[in-house]
Structure 1
Amino acid sequence: MERKNVVLEKSIAFALEVIRFTEMLQDQKKFVIANQMLKSGTSIGAMIHEAQNAESKADFIHKLKIAAKELEETRYWILLCERSEYYENPKQLKEQVNELGLILYKILSTSYKTKP
């Protein structure tokens, strides 16, 4: 029986939600934030997926650190939308990015502690 990889599944679900939200922003002609959020929000999962085939533990950590940077950038765009009176509040995205961040940072923390 194959075990589910929670971080992979959550990163896909988050990316799909980012796509939905940014398409709505694009329909409202809010292209700058939509494009920035689309790039960083979907990049999180791409880097997590890439880390699954890392060449070494150091490479694995490096790729997850890039995913964490993209996650923090996405949090920034979500925060701008949340605080702006001209944008819809992306409450669901905020919850998902926070949950994904907890998992990602836990994996990184554990990876630093384990020996190669």
Structure 2
Amino acid sequence: MATSIDIKHRAYEFAKQVILFTSEQQYSKVYTSMIDQLIRSASSIGANLVEGYAGSSKNDFIKFYTIALKSANETKYWICLLRDTILQEQKEKLNNLLREADELSKIVATIIIKTKSND
């Protein structure tokens, strides 16, 4: 389970980067809900990984890791929407966050697949 521990830390760092990035941005109040959704989905990745790792069964583990995967995919959506609308001047930073969200998504998906195949 060393991979699960590493991914939890990586997801935590990712959520922290998203929070720090969004806290530095200037945007109209109308976009607040988009920023909130991004923070919620980005922080949900790690929260669900932690929950899954502490789960009482293999099914718990898979359930929470699947939720984390969905959160990672949702995070990619919000990053792209922000990049292509209100924060276009931050394209490079948002693309970096997008790459990390994509990598987290792929790692979590691989962990789910491997866990399911270990039956």
TM-score when normalising by structure 1: 0.87
**Structure 1 regions of 5+ residues with no counterpart?**
none
Whole-angstrom CA distance in 1 between matches of 2:59 and 2:75: 24
Name the Cα RMSD after superposition: 1.5
Displaced runs of 4+ in structure 1, greater than 2 A? 27-30
Contact 1:23 1:34 in 2 (8 A): no
Give CA-to-partner distance per residue, 1:62-103, whole Å, 9 cap, x none.
00011111111111001112222x313212211110111111
Contact 2:15 2:46 in 1 (8 A): yes
Whole-angstrom CA distance in 2 between matches of 1:44 and 1:73: 10
Amino acid of the structure 1 residue aligned with 2:100: Q
Give the % identical residues: 29
**Structure 2 regions of 5+ residues with no counterpart?**
none
Q: Where does residue 51 of structure 2 map in the other structure?
A: 50
How is 1:34-113 mapped onto 2 (pairs within 5 angstroms)? 34-84=35-85, 86-87=86-87, 88-89=90-91, 90-113=94-117
Give CA-to-partner distance per residue, 1:22-53, whole Å, 9 cap, x none.
2134x434312110101111010000011111
